[in-house]
């Protein structure tokens, strides 16, 4: 009889997680919340468990390796390119399955039982996922290997609650964590070399996947209403001219240009002087809305340009791990002073200074 562990009503969630881990290590099949649905899972290195999972695979599902983090993908894909690493890091954790053309056994895939290899890499297309479900991530962190899960391949196979799997009979345990936040099938992205295509539409749309794969340049000032928006606008204009495309085409060409402020509020417009000057120069700033700098923005940026040394020092004081990507916009280490409240002429001088440094930054980054 299938057992149910209800995480939502437990007074000791850690005990529940440890009991799930023990069940998986002992070769039991466990229903877990994974990528928009509940899915039957087994420890990928347990031969008997993955064989039983293969024999009883629910209709409309397909096999996928569940990893604890995007870094773990390198164990199965030793030749990941920087652009592929960026794509994985920004889409995960989340309901996106990546398919890579790789014939197992390769990397740690050689250690998987044959039944696990057949299910996780049908037609030599290895399928990997890092779920956003925190309970499952906690389980994975305590396991000696990834999980093999049978995830839904169509809407009919989606299980929005764990107890829905009880009638299938062959699962030994259900981790009931309540209804999934957003039920549906994961998006499946096929990666080949530096290119990717969406094999199956799902919870994440193609624009979001495209943006995740872009090289991101982030400009930072204090309030995100004049200096950093102007710098981002100038960078977009000059980069699109260099690539001979419209600014709205930059994401499809692989680039995102963003801005934020260390002490910014949400949703403030750019200062009127900044809007007017940027538009005179052929850029666009009328629709700008300020936002505070966040760890998510920092982690997604490939390059972070600050307006002053103090901005850079403040960021690195709290996030020293980003030391290699955070630099002042002025390559000589000088500061770009805040023009706010100092009149139109000071704004014009500020924009001229920003433009000169942005041109040099473009030359350094895109030879």
338 labelled catalytic = yes
Cα pseudo-dihedral 173, 178, 182, 186, rounded to 10: -10
- Specify whether the CB–CB gap between 209 and 96 falls below 8 A: yes
- Specify whether the CB–CB gap between 192 and 21 falls below 8 A: no
Phi, psi for residue 366 in degrees, rounded to 5: -130, 80
Catalytic residue among 90, 150, 227, 236: 227
Catalytic residue among 214, 221, 226, 350: 221
Taking alpha carbons only, the member of 189, 230, 228, 193 closest to residue 210 is: 189
Alpha carbon 231 to chain centroid, angstroms: 25
Taking alpha carbons only, the member of 180, 272, 257, 281 closest to residue 225 is: 272
What one-character-per-residue DSSP string does 338-355 give? --TTS-HHHHHHHHHHHH
Cβ-based neighbours of 49, under 8 Å, separated by 6 or more: 24, 27, 28, 29, 42, 43
Helices (H) and strands (E) in the chain, counts: 11, 14
Taking alpha carbons only, the member of 278, 161, 266 closest to residue 224 is: 266
166 labelled catalytic = no
Place of tokens 């495309």: 245
- Specify whether the CB–CB gap between 102 and 77 falls below 8 A: yes
d(CA 264, CA 136): 35
Measured from the Cβ of residue 143, the count of other Cβ atoms closer than 10 Å reads: 17
Phi, psi for residue 310 in degrees, rounded to 5: -65, -40
Tokens of 82: 């920087």
Residues carrying an active site annotation = 221, 227, 338
């Amino acid at each position: 009889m299938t057992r149910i562990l209800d995480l939502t009503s437990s007074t000791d969630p850690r005990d529940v997680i440890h009991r799930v881990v023990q069940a998986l290590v002992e070769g039991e099949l466990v229903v877990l919340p994974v990528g928009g649905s509940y899915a039957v899972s087994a420890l990928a290195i347990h031969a008997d468990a993955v064989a039983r999972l293969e024999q009883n695979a629910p209709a409309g599902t397909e096999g996928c390796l569940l990893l604890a983090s995007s870094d773990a993908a390198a164990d199965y894909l030793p030749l990941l390119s920087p652009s592929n690493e960026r794509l994985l890091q920004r889409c995960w954790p989340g309901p996106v399955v990546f398919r890579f053309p790789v014939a197992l056994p390769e990397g740690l895939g050689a250690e998987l039982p044959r039944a696990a290899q057949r299910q996780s890499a049908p037609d030599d297309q290895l399928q990997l996922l890092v779920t956003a479900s925190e309970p499952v991530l906690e389980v994975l962190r305590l396991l000696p290997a990834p999980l093999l899960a049978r995830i839904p391949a169509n809407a009919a196979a989606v299980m929005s609650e764990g107890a829905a799997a009880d009638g299938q009979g062959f699962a030994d345990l259900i981790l009931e964590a309540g209804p999934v936040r957003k039920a549906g099938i994961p998006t499946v992205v096929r990666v080949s070399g530096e290119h990717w295509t969406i094999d199956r539409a799902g919870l994440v749309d193609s624009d979001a996947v495209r943006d995740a794969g872009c090289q991101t340049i982030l400009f930072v000032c204090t309030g995100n209403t004049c200096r950093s928006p102007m710098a981002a606008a100038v960078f977009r204009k000059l980069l699109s001219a260099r690539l001979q495309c419209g600014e709205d085409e930059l994401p499809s060409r692989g680039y995102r240009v963003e801005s934020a402020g260390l002490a910014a509020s949400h949703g403030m417009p750019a200062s009127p002087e900044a809007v007017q000057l940027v538009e005179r120069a052929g850029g666009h700033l009328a629709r700008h809305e300020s936002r505070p700098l966040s760890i998510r923005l920092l982690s997604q940026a490939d390059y972070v340009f600050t307006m002053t040394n103090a901005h850079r020092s403040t960021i690195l004081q709290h996030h020293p791990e980003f030391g290699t990507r955070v630099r002042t916009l002025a390559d000589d280490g000088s500061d770009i002073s805040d023009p706010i409240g100092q009149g139109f002429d000071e704004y014009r001088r500020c924009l001229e200074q920003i433009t000169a440094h942005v041109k040099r930054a473009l030359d350094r980054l895109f030879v």
